[in-house]
């Protein structure tokens, strides 16, 4: 290894461009150095000189011996061999030994004892260490010194051996000893060099020089640090190993689920179950289902984060497990305090400067807002600074700015904030409108509305009308707004960090109440807007809840009930609203709505939707309140049934419907739940059986009915035919009767003085009529109509009628025959009826006033 020195070459190194980059050539030494080396050789110690002399003498003696041998050759060839060997030895001594196998060094092939093999090993190590030494030499003087020492020792040993033993043997042994010694020493060196190497290659070694400058305490502390680091490394490795070889999560025995000593244990179990659920196939114990694990996880989450089971259930349905943990963790932490600059009074930059000068540490809220500031720390209470009192800003959550941004109010518009108290968003709207147009700020709560008044005064809002009424009634009093904001009352599941009571106080009824009210308010908000507004026609709906029941469902309901469509909120961040949530399918445009979460957006949980009204017509089919609730209940029930079928889903609480139609959740223990489930399934099976039976019965009935119907239709056809025949006859009769009666009446008119005779005639004729047709009212009508007809015409008709009468009488003979077939009792009845009818007709036929007047007129004439 190493580069060979060329002492003979010139001393001066070449100069020129790129010389540094050229490959390094063999080292060159100055002549002075070479001379010095030679002189060093000359300056040998007395011992060395002695040894040198001895060697020379030995060589000479051997030469002499050889000469003698050659002169007197031995009888055996062995001598030759020996001579050859000796010559070989000489050569070995004189010439440098060749590396590798050759005929000259065949001794190497002879088996060696352990020590020699060891030595061999050591030698290889030595070689390596030598090579390393070459590199280390300059840096490590100590090692060099040790090598020198070893050399000296070797020489001493050589001397001793020379003195005591035979020359050749001595030499060999001494060589071996020296080798051994050397190896031992090199071993030490190796170890040292190793350590040195470590020092050299480790970054610590670079600090050696620096270490020299350090105080001993500092050095010690450094060492301690290094040790600490090493220990940490080891601990980390151990931990990783433990994780890799982690034992499977042992499912707690029945009844021992709650035997957890501390919150840390609960947290540990949460982690373990989450990891099991993440790779359920691999890590499950085979006995328990996913829902079993989920049940324990839910209980643990409830105890660890202090939620009630109902809300935890809802959240478990809403988020994937890993995200749920993030949400729960984020909901434990307060969101950063944020303020909104009142652009009616100041600019954000000026406000920031003023607050900074008061010791407030703040920053712009983000690129998405031009008026928001986030406050990291403050030496003064933010709700009591002169700037606050002057109305330069309002303390407002970042998420509260989003609905107003989505509403995008315009100057000079008529805008309604349906539930505005305490007025954060309303004042924002007013500021964007630059105090123009009119802002109606409404709220149902009289106490809270005072806060609106206060805030508006402080912030210099002068374009507002503050009302206090139920928003649901608003369109009854006022309509035609350009835009409406409905920041609806909600369960507040997105602002748990602000109000921790939400965790335990909310249940199914609260949610139902909320979404029913939200729906009604939203429909009212839509009805308050004018679709014909030239600038607007928009409705923004927002809540601080993360539950789909209060968000997507409400919007989906409004889409069905009113002529509105979803449009983009214009907010470029936030996650899209749900289109599919569990088993529910919402309108596809619901992806245009936006959701905001504390764990992803570092702001309160929020929902924002923007609707555009395209027609003021309210669809007739819409039943605004009751229907949807039922719809949802149905869909919920459907979901519950499918939940039972699914292993993945957590078991849900069931709700019983109370008298007032509200779902009341009931707490059930495990056995009750299972029995109820089974009951339900049995009911379902029974229901389906019954349905099948009913269907069968229906089919049989239908067949029977169809048979009956066909029979009936046949009968009816027959009877119809008969009726038709009868009718045709009766029609003919009627026609004839009419004319006959008409004639008789004209006769009545003519024969004014012969009333009694006429009456007799009429009675006679009526008898005939009655025989032909039972109806006489038509006859009366015809008589009245015929009153004004000419006498001539009557005469003609009379003649015709006489002819017809004779005809009819002949034709009626058959009818009469038929009538005679009628049983006597029935015939009597009919005749009685006829009599009565005739009496009536007589009463009707009495002369009227007009007739009297006509008489008078005639008399006058």
Ligand X SMILES: C[S@@+](CC[C@H](N)C(=O)[O-])C[C@H]1O[C@@H](n2cnc3c(N)ncnc32)[C@H](O)[C@@H]1O
- Which residues are known to be catalytic? 544
User: Which member of 284, 425, 519, 594 binds ligand X (CB under 6 A)?
Assistant: 425
Tell me whether residue 383 is annotated as binding.
no
User: Which member of 489, 598, 605, 628 binds ligand X (CB under 6 A)?
Assistant: 489
**Dist CA 828 CA 830 (whole Å):** 5
User: Which member of 129, 178, 385, 420 binds ligand X (CB under 6 A)?
Assistant: 420
Q: Quickly tell me which residue has 């009245």 as its tokens.
A: 784
Backbone angles phi, psi at 834, to 5 degrees: -55, -40
**Dist CA 593 CA 550 (whole Å):** 13
Tell me whether residue 419 is annotated as binding.
yes
Q: How far is the CB of 548 from ligand X (least distance, A)?
A: 18
Tell me whether residue 424 is annotated as binding.
yes
Closest CA to 545 of 517, 568, 524: 517
**Dist CA 138 CA 615 (whole Å):** 93
User: Which member of 69, 448, 587, 676 binds ligand X (CB under 6 A)?
Assistant: 448
Contacts to ligand X from residues 268-307, by CB under 6 A: none
How many amino acids of this chain bind ligand X (CB under 6 A)?
A: 19
Tell me whether residue 422 is annotated as binding.
yes
640 lies in the site for ligand X, by CB under 6 A: no
Q: How far is the CB of 660 from ligand X (least distance, A)?
A: 19
How many H helices and E strands in the chain?
A: 31, 17
443 lies in the site for ligand X, by CB under 6 A: yes
User: Which member of 292, 470, 631, 815 binds ligand X (CB under 6 A)?
Assistant: 470
For the record, the structure tokens of 805 come out as 């009468």
The answer to whether the CB of 412 falls within 8 A of the CB of 400 is no
Q: Which is nearer to ligand X, 161 or 467 (CB)?
A: 467
Q: How far is the CB of 451 from ligand X (least distance, A)?
A: 8
**Dist CA 97 CA 88 (whole Å):** 11
CA 585 vs. chain centroid, Å, equals 15
For the record, the structure tokens of 713 come out as 């239709």
Question: Per CB under 6 A, which region of 66-74, 150-158, 416-424, 656-664 contacts ligand X?
Answer: 416-424
550 lies in the site for ligand X, by CB under 6 A: no
Query: Strand pairing partners for 467?
Result: 442
Tell me whether residue 420 is annotated as binding.
yes
Tell me whether residue 470 is annotated as binding.
yes
Collapsed DSSP state (helix, strand, coil) of residue 129: helix
494 lies in the site for ligand X, by CB under 6 A: no
**Dist CA 111 CA 473 (whole Å):** 112
Closest CA to 180 of 138, 108, 126, 241: 126
338 lies in the site for ligand X, by CB under 6 A: no
Q: Which is nearer to ligand X, 399 or 770 (CB)?
A: 399
Q: How far is the CB of 559 from ligand X (least distance, A)?
A: 21
Question: Per CB under 6 A, which region of 23-31, 74-82, 441-449, 716-724 contacts ligand X?
Answer: 441-449
Instruction: Name the burial class of residue 205, with classes exposed (0-12), middle (13-18) and buried (19+) by CB atoms within 10 angstroms of its CB.
Output: middle
User: Which member of 187, 343, 445, 563 binds ligand X (CB under 6 A)?
Assistant: 445
547 lies in the site for ligand X, by CB under 6 A: no
Question: Per CB under 6 A, which region of 231-239, 372-380, 438-446, 594-602 contacts ligand X?
Answer: 438-446
Question: Per CB under 6 A, which region of 12-20, 418-426, 588-596, 819-827 contacts ligand X?
Answer: 418-426
Q: Which is nearer to ligand X, 147 or 431 (CB)?
A: 431
Tell me whether residue 423 is annotated as binding.
yes
What string of DSSP letters covers 259-315?
---SHHHHHHHHHHHHHHHHTHHHH--SSS-HHHHHHHHHHHHHHHHT--HHHHHHH
Backbone angles phi, psi at 465, to 5 degrees: -120, 120
Binding mask 505-534 for ligand X (x = CB under 6 A): ----------------x-------------
467 lies in the site for ligand X, by CB under 6 A: no
340 lies in the site for ligand X, by CB under 6 A: no
Q: How far is the CB of 444 from ligand X (least distance, A)?
A: 4
Tell me whether residue 781 is annotated as binding.
no
The answer to whether the CB of 403 falls within 8 A of the CB of 366 is no
397 lies in the site for ligand X, by CB under 6 A: no
421 lies in the site for ligand X, by CB under 6 A: yes
The answer to whether the CB of 257 falls within 8 A of the CB of 299 is yes
Q: How does 517-544 read in b/e, with b if 16+ C-beta sit within 10 Å?
A: bbbbbbbbbbbbbbbebeebbbbbbbbb
Q: Which is nearer to ligand X, 471 or 475 (CB)?
A: 471
By CB under 6 A, name the binding residues for ligand X.
400, 418-425, 443-445, 448, 470-472, 487, 489, 521
Indicate the annotated binding residues for S-adenosyl-L-methionine: 419-425, 443, 470, 487
């Amino acid at each position: 290894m190493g580069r060979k020195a060329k002492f003979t070459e010139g001393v001066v190194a070449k100069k020129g461009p790129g010389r540094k980059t050229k490959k390094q050539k063999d080292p060159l030494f100055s002549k002075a150095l070479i001379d010095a080396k030679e002189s060093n050789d000359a300056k040998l110690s007395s011992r060395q000189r002695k040894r040198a002399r001895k060697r020379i003498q030995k060589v000479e003696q051997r030469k002499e011996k050889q000469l003698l041998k050659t002169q007197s050759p031995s009888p055996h060839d062995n001598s030759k061999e020996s001579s050859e060997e000796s010559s070989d030895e000489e050569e070995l001594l004189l010439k440098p030994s060749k590396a590798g196998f050759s005929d000259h060094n065949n001794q190497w092939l002879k088996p060696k004892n352990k020590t020699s093999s060891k030595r061999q090993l050591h030698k290889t190590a030595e070689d390596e260490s030598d090579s390393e030494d070459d590199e280390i030499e300059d840096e490590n003087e100590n090692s060099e010194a040790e090598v020198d020492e070893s050399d000296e020792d070797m020489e001493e040993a050589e001397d001793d051996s020379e003195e005591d033993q035979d020359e050749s043997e001595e030499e060999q042994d001494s060589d071996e000893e020296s080798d051994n010694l050397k190896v031992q020493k090199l071993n030490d060196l190796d170890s040292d060099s190793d350590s040195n190497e470590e020092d050299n290659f480790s970054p610590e070694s670079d600090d050696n020089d620096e270490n020299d400058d350090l105080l001993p305490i500092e050095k010690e502390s450094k060492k301690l640090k290094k040790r600490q680091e090493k220990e940490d490394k080891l601990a980390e490795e151990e931990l990783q190993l433990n994780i890799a070889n982690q034992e499977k999560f042992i499912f707690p025995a029945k009844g021992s689920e709650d035997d957890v000593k501390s919150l840390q244990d609960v947290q540990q179990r949460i982690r373990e179950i989450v990891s099991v659920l993440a790779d359920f196939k691999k890590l499950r114990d085979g006995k328990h289902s996913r829902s079993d694990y989920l049940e324990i996880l839910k209980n643990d989450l409830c105890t660890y984060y202090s939620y009630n089971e109902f809300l935890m259930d809802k959240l478990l349905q809403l988020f994937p497990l890993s995200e749920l943990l993030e949400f729960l963790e984020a909901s434990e932490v307060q969101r950063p305090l944020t303020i909104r600059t009142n652009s009616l009074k100041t600019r954000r930059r000026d406000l920031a400067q003023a607050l900074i000068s008061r010791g407030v540490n703040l920053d712009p809220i983000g690129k998405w807002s031009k008026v928001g500031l986030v406050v990291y720390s403050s030496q003064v209470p933010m709700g009591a600074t002169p700037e606050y009192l002057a109305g330069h800003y309002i303390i407002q959550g970042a998420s509260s700015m989003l609905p107003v941004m989505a509403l995008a109010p315009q100057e000079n518009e008529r805008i309604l904030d349906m539930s505005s108290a305490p007025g954060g968003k309303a004042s924002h709207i007013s500021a964007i409108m630059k105090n123009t147009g009119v802002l109606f700020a409404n709220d149902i709560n009289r106490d809270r509305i005072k806060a609106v008044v206060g805030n508006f005064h402080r912030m210099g809002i002068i374009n507002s009308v503050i009302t206090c009424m139920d928003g649901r009634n608003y369109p009854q009093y006022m309509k035609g707004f350009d835009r409406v904001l409905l920041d609806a009352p909600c369960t507040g599941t997105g602002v748990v960090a602000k109000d921790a009571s939400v965790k335990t106080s909310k249940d199914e009824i609260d949610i139902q109440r909320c979404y029913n009210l939200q729906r009604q308010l939203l429909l009212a908000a839509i009805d308050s807007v004018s679709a014909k507004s030239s600038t607007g026609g928009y409705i923004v709906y927002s809540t601080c809840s993360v539950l789909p029941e209060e968000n997507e469902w409400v919007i989906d309901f409004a889409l069905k009930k009113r002529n509105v469509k979803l449009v983009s909120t214009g907010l470029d961040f936030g996650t899209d609203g749900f289109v599919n949530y569990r088993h529910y399918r919402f309108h596809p445009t619901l992806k245009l709505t936006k959701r905001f979460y504390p764990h992803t957006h570092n702001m309160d949980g929020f929902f924002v939707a923007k609707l555009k009204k395209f027609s003021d017509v309210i669809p007739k089919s819409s039943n605004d309140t009751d229907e949807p609730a039922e719809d949802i209940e149905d869909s919920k029930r459907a979901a519950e049934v499918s939940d039972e079928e699914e292993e993945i889903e957590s078991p849900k609480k069931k709700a019983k419907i109370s008298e007032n139609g509200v779902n009341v959740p009931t707490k059930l223990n495990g056995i009750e739940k299972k029995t109820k489930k089974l009951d339900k399934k049995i009911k379902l099976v029974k229901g389906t059986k019954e349905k099948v039976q009913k269907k069968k019965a229906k089919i049989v009935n239908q067949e029977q009915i169809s048979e009956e119907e066909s029979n009936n239709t046949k009968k009816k056809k027959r009877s119809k035919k008969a009726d038709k025949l009868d009718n045709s006859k009766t029609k003919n009769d009627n026609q004839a009767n009419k004319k006959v009666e008409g004639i008789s009446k004209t006769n009545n008119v003519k024969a004014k003085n012969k009333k009694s005779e006429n009456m007799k005639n009429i009675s006679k004729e009526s008898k005939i009529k009655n025989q032909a047709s039972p109806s006489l009212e038509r006859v009366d009508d015809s008589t009245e109509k015929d009153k004004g007809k000419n006498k001539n015409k009557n005469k003609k008709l009379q003649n015709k009628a006489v002819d017809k009468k004779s005809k009819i009488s002949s034709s009626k003979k058959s009818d009469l025959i038929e009538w005679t077939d009628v049983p006597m009792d029935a015939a009597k009845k009919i005749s009685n009826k006829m009599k009565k009818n005739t009496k009536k007709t007589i009463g009707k036929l009495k002369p009227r006033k007009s007739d009297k007047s006509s008489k008078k007129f005639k008399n006058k004439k």
